[in-house]
A and B are shown apart, each in its own frame.
Chain A
Amino acid sequence: MFGKLTWDAIPWSQPIPLVAGSVVVLVVLAVLAWVALKGYLPYLWREWITSVDHKRIGVMYTLLGLVMLLRGFIDAIMMRSQQAIAFRAAGYLPPEHYDQIFSAHGTIMIFFAAMPIIIGLMNFAVPLQLGVRDVAFPTLNSTSFWLTATGALLVNISLVIGEFARTGWLVYPPLSELPYSPGVGVDYYLWALLISGVGTLMTGINFVTTILKIRAPGMSYLRMTIFCWTALAANLLIVAAFPILTATLGMLAFNYRSMVAATMFICLVSYLVWMHHFFTMGAGADVNAFFGISTSIIAVGTGVKIYNWLFTMYGGRIRFTTPMLWSVGFLVTFTIGGMTGVLLAVPPADFLLHNSLFLVAHFHNVIIAGVIFAAFAGVTYWFPKAFGFKLDEGWGKAAFWLSLLGFYVVFVPLYVAGLLGMTRRLQHYDVAAWRPWVLVAGIGIIIMMAAAACQVVQFVVSIRRREQLRDETGDPWDGRSLEWATASPPPPFNFAVLPNVQGAEPYWGIKQRAIETQQLSAEPRYEPIEMPRNSPTGFITAFFSTLTGFALIWHIWWLVGLGLVAAYAVFVWFAWRDAVEYSIPAEEVARYDRERRRAREQWLAQHAGQPA
């Protein structure tokens, strides 16, 4: 009846996962109970769970990513603390549990933290920056999100029901084969990634189509923000290969065209470097030479981008707000990580360094800077656009400085330990020379815990102080791209009238004209706007995907069949609906827009006579 699933699947004898799992279940139940008691469930269902609005889906993606970031970070704390005490000792994590932790850490951080945060920011910002009302396929977008959530849920279910893979996050054979991994751990990994991968692929299709086919009038390719270009590059890679991490924040750069060219160059060449993960596999000198060179060449495109960012800052006036600090931290840290990457790109060096903590330090150097720092810059930058109030600067800056410091205290020692020969994924060790470095890294993780606490406090404090932090104008950073041309938070239709783009910095031009003439341009004629209706399709699909995935992991075949039949039924039901759009009357559009214009006029009056 239940396949391989029995009561023994729950790790009764292991207190750590049992307690952790129970706490998570209790917290989730408590939150659900609170939501239900407060009567928020109908609101959540109508306005968020079934929402096909790209902004809300973006917020949900980012929230999922941040929660999973915390989950992956707890894994990191456990690994660092285990290694700190497991010198000629067993530590507190048995090997089979430790192996699951480092596998889950990698899987969660890449697929369920980094990617959802980046996709969330793209979801939120790209249509706004393109000056349009939504992505190409809104309901598909919601389905993508919920399938990603399904994958995250399956990985987390493995904490208490069964086990997760013990193979590392890349599950290489033969270790991942049945004789060596007989449990359900690898199955959890496979189905979680497959299901969320379908979601990510659909996101890729959605965003490539959106960026290439749906832009405001006048928004030619070379007027798009750099962020839209990087989103296009990332999504092309998703479509072609699925996951590559690319995300950088956009401003009008020192040399826009070279920035675009470098981005697309990296997009193309990064497709030709994958073999650098397998230099030691035995493909031979010629193959290794090709992939070593192509990997090094990536540094050229990256160098163009780094210098572009530097010259952009040199030519600009820098305000050291929290997003800017994260961006600068990204620049410095990413450059260091990139340089150690060039070292690893030399195949003979890689033969010595691969599988060592040097490699671990390298890719954390690149990913934490390139994804996590950039993601926090993006979250802080677009938060006021999404919610109508800024995040608290003091706590944000504290989080930044502690993150930066903690990052170096963790990973610089790991570079050294790697050069001293310490391999990755060690549950315990007995080389005395490694010990001091491992202990320093252990101190670093404590600093990062403080940084994470600051982040949480930052959100709590900002929400409590939201009236003081309110952004009335819709343009809290004095921005240049189109997302700042609408209210914060934007209305469901984003723009009352689609902007007519006449240059590479569309909103800057509009703003300067308003300041010069001391008035906003004349009020446009408002027309009714038709928007896609919300739909529970994504949520229902994900519900049955979760059942199907769980059933496939545990070989519960009748449930697999039930899930697939239900999935087809949802497909037909969705395809059958007749009313797919609703109309927002012109008066309501006008009401929204007049409100925004009033706020802008107030701002204009306050800033009369002074340049922006």
Chain B
Amino acid sequence: MSATDTPFERASDPYRVGRSRDWVSTGAGRGYVYATGHGEGGPASKRVIVGYGFWIFLLSDIVMFSAFFAAHAVLQTATAGGPSGRDLFNWWSIVAQTAFLLVSSFTCGLSAVATEARDQLWTQVALLVTGLFGLGFLVLEGRDFAGMVMQGAGPQRSAFLSSLFAVVGLHGLHVSAGLLWLGTMMAQVFVKGFRPEILRRLVCFNLFWHALDIIWVALFTIVYLIGLGR
């Protein structure tokens, strides 16, 4: 099990999780500078591992949402004599929610730019604006939900409304969890600065927030646009 005849042994324990970025190959027919985890280069860097794992999580989350979308698409007309989307949806509120979420995604992207520049102030400002738009989105959505329940159009009224509250509520829960995460990240960036693990978490948070935006685009189309047409 010796590694004396290889270049691997020269760097200090290069295969420790997260260390392979430091390792520079010195030959032996392998031209790798950075181990990416593809093929034979040894374990990937921690940044790659964390980002990759989070992508897998997002994909599984998207699979879950697609199941909810499929259920809603089937049940969209199952109103059991109750109100349909056309009767219930508050068009201006939905437009405002969409705008809020899209803008928050943009400011989230700005926060990543500020983070790349290691600018504490602008990172915090951009994250704060992101959070405020996210909060505004949640307030509008909560108001719509409350209004529907007041009219007697709660999730127990019909299969259509059950699936509507399920899929929109699931997205809303994700946004709420994202806001908690965002607040925690702001505190961490403030207290601990741009340490490597904080940077990795910021990457994951960015991925999460943009994924929620993409899911909202699908939700807007399937639930609201198609729902209004039915």
> Which residues on A are within 8 Å of B, measured CB to CB?
132-134, 136-137, 201, 204-206, 208-209, 212-221, 239-241, 485, 495-501, 510, 520-525, 527-530, 568, 571-572, 575-576, 578, 580
Contacts and interface: CB of A to CB of B under 8 A. Distances in A.
A522 B2 CA distance: 6
Interface string B20-45: 00000000000000010101111110
A216 B6 CA distance: 13
A221 B1 contact: no
Given A204-B60, A205-B60, A497 B1 contact: yes
Q: What are the 7 closest A-B residue pairs judged by CB atoms, nearest first? A: A521-B2, A213-B37, A217-B42, A498-B15, A209-B53, A214-B43, A213-B44
Contact of A133 (B12, B16, B41, B59): B16
Contact of B3 (A485, A497, A528, A580): A497
B13 interface: yes
Nearest to B183: A572
B53 A137 contact: yes
Contact of B52 (A201, A213, A221, A576): A213
Contacts of A520: 2
A572 B184 contact: yes
Given A497-B1, A500-B6, A136 B53 contact: yes
A521 B1 CA distance: 7
Nearest to A523: B2
Contacts, number: 113
B74 interface: no
25 contacts: A136-B17, A208-B53, A209-B49, A209-B52, A209-B56, A212-B37, A213-B44, A213-B48, A214-B17, A215-B42, A216-B43, A217-B35, A217-B42, A218-B40, A218-B42, A239-B59, A240-B63, A497-B9, A499-B1, A521-B4, A524-B3, A527-B13, A529-B16, A530-B13, A578-B192
A496 B13 CA distance: 10
A524 B37 contact: no
Chain B, interface size category, equals 35 or more
Contacts of A137: 53
Per DSSP, chain A at the interface is loop
B195 to A, nearest CB: 9
B53 A201 contact: no
B56 A134 contact: no
Interface in B172-210: 180, 184, 188, 192, 197, 201
B169 to A, nearest CB: 16
A527 B8 CA distance: 12
A154 B112 CA distance: 42
Nearest to A514: B1
B67 to A, nearest CB: 10
Contacts of B43: 132, 213-216
A133 B9 CA distance: 16
B197 A580 contact: yes
Given A528-B12, A575-B188, 16 more contacts: A132-B15, A132-B43, A134-B17, A205-B53, A205-B56, A205-B60, A213-B44, A213-B49, A214-B37, A215-B42, A220-B39, A221-B39, A497-B2, A501-B40, A510-B1, A525-B4
B53 A524 contact: no
Contacts of A575: 184, 188, 201
Contact of B4 (A212, A524, A530): A524
B188 A576 contact: yes
A509 to B, nearest CB: 11
A212 B53 CA distance: 10
B42 A216 contact: yes
Nearest to A527: B13
Nearest to A201: B60
B1 A525 contact: no
Interface in B130-188: 180, 184, 188
B91 interface: no
A215 B49 CA distance: 12
B15 A239 contact: no
Interface string B70-82: 0000000000000
Given A213-B49, A220-B40, A240 B4 contact: no
Nearest to A130: B43
Contacts of A501: 40
B106 interface: no
Contacts of B53: 136-137, 205-206, 208-209
A134 B16 CA distance: 9
Contacts of A239: 56, 59-60, 63
Contact of A498 (B8, B37, B48): B8
A510 B3 CA distance: 11
Contacts of B201: 575
Contact of B1 (A133, A134, A213, A485): A485
B132 to A, nearest CB: 20
Given A204-B60, A217-B8, A497-B3, A133 B40 contact: no
A542 B3 CA distance: 42
Contacts of A525: 4, 9
A215 B37 contact: yes
A499 B35 CA distance: 15
Contacts of A521: 1-2, 4
Given A521-B1, A522-B4, A208 B56 contact: yes
